[in-house]
Amino acid sequence: MAVEKRVPALCNYAMFCAGCGHGVLLRLICECLEELGQEKNTIAAIGVGCSCHLKSGINVDLVQCPHGRAGAVATGIRRAEPDKCVFTYQGDGDAYNIGIAETLNAAYRNENLCVFVVNNNNFGMTGGQMSWTTMEGQKTATSPAGRDIALTGAPIKVPEMIAHSFRPAYVARGAVTTPAEINRLKGYIKNAFQAQLNHEGYSMVEVLSTCPTNWGMEPLAAHQHLMEHVVPYYQLGEFKKRGE
Amino acid sequence: MSKATADQERCKGCGLCIAYCKKNALEMSSHINSRGYKSIRVLPDNCIGCGICYTVCPDGVFTIAAE
Ligand SMILES: Cc1ncc(C[n+]2csc(CCOP(=O)(O)OP(=O)(O)O)c2C)c(N)n1
Ligand code: SF4
Ligand SMILES: [Mg+2]
């Protein structure tokens, strides 16, 4: 049987750096929206950071939220438009460092939303500063000697926190690396949207992603770094399955 | 059989597709696209249309379709 794969019409050219993981996640979200018939029924709440490139990168209605506030903005959209498919698209710095209150409050209330967080271990757009997800010992623009976790805290695990403390519909962590991981991640994204369409409540999918520009690595070396040094700490998988 | 085709205008020359293709069916061309990036070229004789390039490409360069 002939294989057919085409990039969905709602997935435009996006201005991410060459080899950046954001682009794969954007395409997977578009594929899921298309497969679920939601491409004309969706509103996105996007964070500040490289997530801003969704403004030209996706053909759905969207709101550019103040930094960190997408969880609250998406809640407002959900209340005003109960029949729309609503998702947030945020970086780790946006959803965690800056917007942890809004992120946790939306999860705590079990808002019927999907939250996608790109965890690339730094503030990418602003030049690679240390974030809550920066790995121990990782050199960034603001941790030039490597992150000292005794001084700055250890890399935060928000999906685990939400899955184990609240009663969300679905929580998972995937990675944008090998074809196998990308295919698995697509399954997580699909589950998140299906949970929302089925009125099951809040879903978060955190996506481990590369930032070749600020990591100072070639795109393939960044994939290898992620699998060898990031995945052992940030375990992949489903932390809260639907219906559990 | 299906084959990959590449939209060179979307390509940023990151090379991930070359690294993951098991069939040596992709190479970097010398063509510089209108955004100033080097872009990829498919070698159709080697391509088996598996779609690995489509999956790993961050920029939606590839279409996999019957010839
Ligand atoms: C209130 C406010 N504080 C700081 C900034 C600067 N700023 C812009 S993007 C960004 C970090 C984004 O990092 P992240 O959410 O991890 O996204 P990435 O670019 O890594 O995908 C910061 C701090 C801002 N725009 N507004
Ligand atoms: S700065 Fe990093 S996260 Fe932002 S587009 Fe470039 S590679 Fe991607
Ligand atoms: Mg980031």
Report CA B9 to chain centroid distance, whole Å: 11
Helix, strand, or coil (residue A244): coil
pLDDT recorded at residue A142: 98
State the ligand closest to the CA atom of A210.
2
Residue B67: the pLDDT is 81
Q: Where are the alpha helices (DSSP H) in chain A?
A: 22-35, 54-57, 70-80, 92, 100-108, 149-152, 158-165, 179-197, 212-215, 219-225
Q: Residue B40 is part of which domain span? A: 2-66
The verdict on A218 touching B (C-beta cutoff 8 Å) is yes
pLDDT string in tens for chain A (244-residue length) = 567 999 999 999 999 999 999 999 999 999 999 999 999 999 999 999 999 999 999 999 999 999 999 999 999 999 999 999 999 999 999 999 999 999 999 999 999 999 999 999 999 999 999 999 999 999 999 999 999 999 999 999 999 999 999 999 999 999 999 999 999 999 999 999 999 999 999 999 999 999 999 999 999 999 999 999 999 999 999 999 999 8
Report yes or no on A3 lying in a domain. no
Find out whether B6 and B40 touch, Cβ atoms under 8 Å: yes
Domain count, chain B: 1
d(CA A220, CA B8): 20
Domain of residue A168 covers: 26-240
DSSP calls for A43-89: EEEE-SSGGGGHHHHB-SEEEEPSTT-HHHHHHHHHHH-TTSEEEEE
H or E segment and range at residue B18: helix B16-20
Which residue of chain A has the CA closest to B56? A179
- Residue in chain A closest to B52 (alpha carbons) equals A179
- State how far Cα A58 lies from the chain centre: 15
Determine the Cα angle at A40 with ends A208 and B9, to 5°.
Answer: 60
- Flag whether A13 is in a domain: no
pLDDT for residue A236 = 98
| Residue appearing with tokens 């808002």 | A111
Q: Name the residue among A6, A13, A219 with its Cβ closest to that of B63.
A: A6
User: Is residue A113 domain-resident?
Assistant: yes
CATH for A113:
3.40.50.970
CATH number of B57's domain: 3.30.70.3270
Residue A2 included in any domain = no
CA distance A109 to chain B (A): 34
Measure the CA–CA gap between A127 and A106, rounded to whole angstroms.
29
Residue for token digits 């219906």?
Answer: A243
Please report the atom of ligand 2 found closest to the CA of residue A212: 7
Q: A156 in a domain, yes or no?
A: yes
Could you identify the atom of ligand 2 that is nearest to the CA of residue A21? 8
Q: Is residue A19 part of a domain?
A: no
Q: Do A5 and B51 touch (CB under 8 A)?
A: yes
pLDDT digits (tens, 9 = 90+) for B51-62: 999 999 999 999
Number of domains in chain A: 1
* Structural domain includes residue A179: yes
> Which among B10, B19, B59 is the nearest to A220, CB-wise?
B19
Decide if A170 is inside a domain.
yes
pLDDT of res. B1: 86
Q: Which of A17, A51, A55 gets mutated to test ligand 2 (max ligand atoms within 8 A of its CB)?
A: A17
Chain A closest-CA separation from residue B30 CA (Å): 17
Would you say the CB of residue A100 lies under 6 angstroms from ligand 1? no
pLDDT surpassing 80 at residue B34: yes
Q: Which of B10, B49, B50 sits opposite A13 (nearest CB)?
A: B10
Asked if residues A205 and A173 have their Cβ atoms less than 8 Å apart, the reply is yes
Measure B28 CA to ligand 1 centroid, in angstroms.
Answer: 33
pLDDT score recorded for residue A1: 55
